[in-house]
Amino acid sequence: MKQSLALLLLLAAFAAAPLVASPYLLSVLVVVLYYAYLGQAWNIMMGFAGQLSLGHTLYVGLGAYASAALFVRFGVPAAIGLWAGVLVAMLAGAAVGSLSFRFGLKGVYFALLTIAFAEFTRILFQHLPGLGGTGGLFLPVAERSGVHLLTLRGSPAMFYYVALAMTAGIFLLCRFLLASPIGYRWRALREDQEAAQALGINIFRSKLAAVTLSAGLTALGGVFFAFYYNALFPDQAFGMPRSIEIILGPIVGGLGTLFGPILGAIILTPLGETITWATEALGFKAAGIKQLFYGLSLLAIIKFLPDGVWPRLKRLLRWDADNDDGDGDEGAAR
Amino acid sequence: MLVIRDLDLFYGDAQALAGVSLVVPQGSITAVIGANGAGKTSLIRTIAGMAKPAGGRILFDGVDITGWPSHKVCNLGLGQVAEGRQIFPNMTVTENLELGAMIPRGRKAAAATLQRVYQTFPRLLERRDQMAGTLSGGEQQMLAIGRCLMGQPRLIMFDEPSLGLSPAMVKEVFAIIQRLHAEGLTVVLVEQNVAVSLKMADHACVLENGHVAIEGSGALLLEDDRVRKAYLGL
C-alpha cells in the first residue's frame, strides 16, 4: 500500500511538473525519464535475468535509425515506424543472444560480445551513405507546437508526457514480468544457472526472451530519442559512452529492483547538470573537470551503497515488511 | 526403467566416463558408489542432459534421451537433486518450490503438489516465507528434495544427499528417500555414505575411473571384499 501510494504521488508530481517547470527544467526532466525508461529496459536483461549487456545502445541506435530513416525517406509516421525499429532491434537481440547462448558464452565474454556488436554497428552506420554516415541523419521538423502523437511531433510538453507514459508503462510491465512465470525463471537463472537447468528450466529460451524483450523495449526509447532530438550520429547513437549511461542508473539505483532504474535516473541526471552548473559558477575551466566530479560522485555512491540506493532507502523507510505489492525486488543481483 | 549403455563422456581430453552401462529397474533403489572423481556426478549430469556424451545410449522408459537438453529430460519425469543442494538462497522457500514446477509436467498440478510437499515436509511449511539461504543444511536438503518433487518426477537421482549434514539429519534424509521410494518413486542414489546406501539399495554398482568396476545387489556388494576394503574400511 505504502509503495503504491508513494508511486502515485511520484507520478502526480511528474504529471504536474510541466505546469510549473521552466523549459530548461522540463528538458532535464525529459532526460531523467528517458534514462529511467532505458535503465528499466536494460534491467530486464541484467537485473532480472543476470545477463550483462554493455552494448545496449545498439538497440537504441537501431530503433532510432530505423524509425528515422523510414520517416526521412518515405514520410512514414513515427507511430508506424516504431514497429520497424522495435522489430529490427528484437531481431538483432535475438541474433546476439542465440549466437552467444548457443555456444555457451557467459558472463564477461557475453558482455564483450555485446560491445563488439554495438561497435561493429557503429562503424557500419558511419559508412552507410544512405543514412547520412558520419555527417548524421536529420529529421525535418514542421511543427513545434500542439500534440501530434501519430507523427510524434509537437511541443516539449508533449514529448515530456510521452516519456512519462513510456516510463510508467515499462514500470508496470516490469512489475508484471517479475511476478510472472518468466520472471521466476529469470530470477532462478540469475541466481544459479546450473540449478535452474537442473530443474528443467529452458535456459536458452529464457535468456533469449530476456534479450529480445529488452532489445525491443530499448528500441522504443531509441524512437523517442530520434524524434525528440531530430538528429542522429553513429558515434552518438551507437557509442560506448551511451551504453554506460544507460546502465549507470540501474546500478546506482539498485540492480534488479523495480524502483532502482527510476531512482538512479532521478539522481544521476540532475547530478550531472548540477556539476556542470557548479563548475561553471565556480569558474573551473579545466577540460574534463565535469567528468572528474561526476566520476568521483559515482565512486562515492558505489563505495557507500554497493547494492544501490533503493535497497538502502527501502530499509530506511521500513518498507521491507511491506511486501503486499509483491514487487519481488528483494535480493537484488550482486 | 532407465537403461544406460556404454556411456562415454569427455571434459576436453579428460575422459570422465568410459563405457558405463547400468540398468535401473522400475521401483528400485539403485546405488552408485565410488571414490571422488570416479565419475558419479558426471554420470548424473549426463543422464540429466547437462553434459553431452561422446558415445553410448540413455533410454528412459524405452525413449532414447541421449543428448536431449535438460528441460526435455526433466519433463519426462526424470528429476535430480543435485550435489550441494543448489537452492536459491535469495528466494523464499515457496518461490524455490514453485520453481520446481516450471516444467510443463509439473505446472498443472503445481498447487496440489505444493500442498503435498508441505505435508511431507512440515518444516518447510513453517518457513515458507523465509529466504532459503537462512535455512539449516538439513532444511535446505529437504527444500531441494521438495523442489524436485514439484516437477512430478517418476525417478529421482540423488547426488550425495547426506553431504555436510549432521548424523541425525543424515538419518532423516535417508528415511525420507525410503518413504518416497515406498510411495512408488524409483531412486538412483549416489553416495559416499557407502554402508547406509548399500543397505538401502536393491541394486548397486561401484564406479572406478569412469567405468563400472563391480555390480550386483546391495547385499552382495556389502559382502564383497573389494568394496569392504576400499569403501567400508574393513
CATH at A171: 1.10.3470
Is A184 an 8 Å CB contact of chain B? yes
Check if the beta carbon of residue A196 is closer than 8 Å to that of residue A13. Answer: no
Answer yes or no: is A226 within a domain. yes
Share of residues in chain A with pLDDT > 70 (%): 95
Q: Hey, what's the cell of B78?
A: 526424470
Answer yes or no: is A328 within a domain. no
pLDDT of A334 above 50: no
pLDDT of A293 above 90: no
Q: Hey, what's the cell of A86?
A: 522495435
Cα–Cα distance measured from residue B189 to residue B180, given in angstroms and rounded to the nearest whole number: 13
Closest CB to A191 among B82, B90, B103: B90
pLDDT category, A321, cuts 50, 70, 90? low
pLDDT of B108 above 60: yes
pLDDT of A318 above 90: no
pLDDT given for residue A320 in this prediction:
61
pLDDT of A330 above 60: no
Q: Hey, what's the cell of B5?
A: 549403455
Q: Which residue of B has its CA nearest to A199?
A: B100
Cα–Cα nearest to B88, from A269, A67, A184: A184
Cα–Cα distance measured from residue B226 to residue A284, given in angstroms and rounded to the nearest whole number: 82
Q: What is the mean pLDDT of residues A222-234?
A: 96
pLDDT category, A324, cuts 50, 70, 90? very low
* Amino acid at residue number A140: P
Q: What is the ipTM of this complex?
A: 0.87
- What proportions of chain B, in percent to the nearest 5, are helix, strand and coil? 40, 25, 35
Burial of B18 from C-beta contacts in 10 A (0-12 / 13-18 / 19+)? middle
SS3 (DSSP) at A129: helix
pLDDT given for residue B206 in this prediction:
92
pLDDT category, A147, cuts 50, 70, 90? confident
pLDDT given for residue A326 in this prediction:
43
Cα–Cα distance measured from residue A29 to residue A333, given in angstroms and rounded to the nearest whole number: 28
- What proportions of chain A, in percent to the nearest 5, are helix, strand and coil? 75, 0, 25
Structural domain boundaries, residue A160: 2-316
pLDDT of A178 above 90: yes
User: What total of structural domains would you count in chain A?
Assistant: 1
Answer yes or no: is A321 within a domain. no
DSSP state of B131: B
Answer yes or no: is A308 within a domain. yes
Answer yes or no: is A327 within a domain. no
Q: What is the mean pLDDT of residues A84-113?
A: 94
Q: Which residue of B has its CA nearest to A183?
A: B99
pLDDT category, A333, cuts 50, 70, 90? very low
Answer yes or no: is A333 within a domain. no
Burial of A306 from C-beta contacts in 10 A (0-12 / 13-18 / 19+)? exposed
Q: Which residues of B touch A331 (CB under 8 A)?
A: 90-91, 131
Check if the beta carbon of residue A242 is closer than 8 Å to that of residue A57. Answer: yes
First to last CA, chain B: 34
pLDDT given for residue A143 in this prediction:
77
pLDDT category, B230, cuts 50, 70, 90? confident
Cα–Cα nearest to A53, from A299, A217, A165, A179: A217
Answer yes or no: is A291 within a domain. yes
pLDDT given for residue A295 in this prediction:
86
Answer yes or no: is A237 within a domain. yes
Q: Which residues of B touch A188 (CB under 8 A)?
A: 88, 91, 99, 102
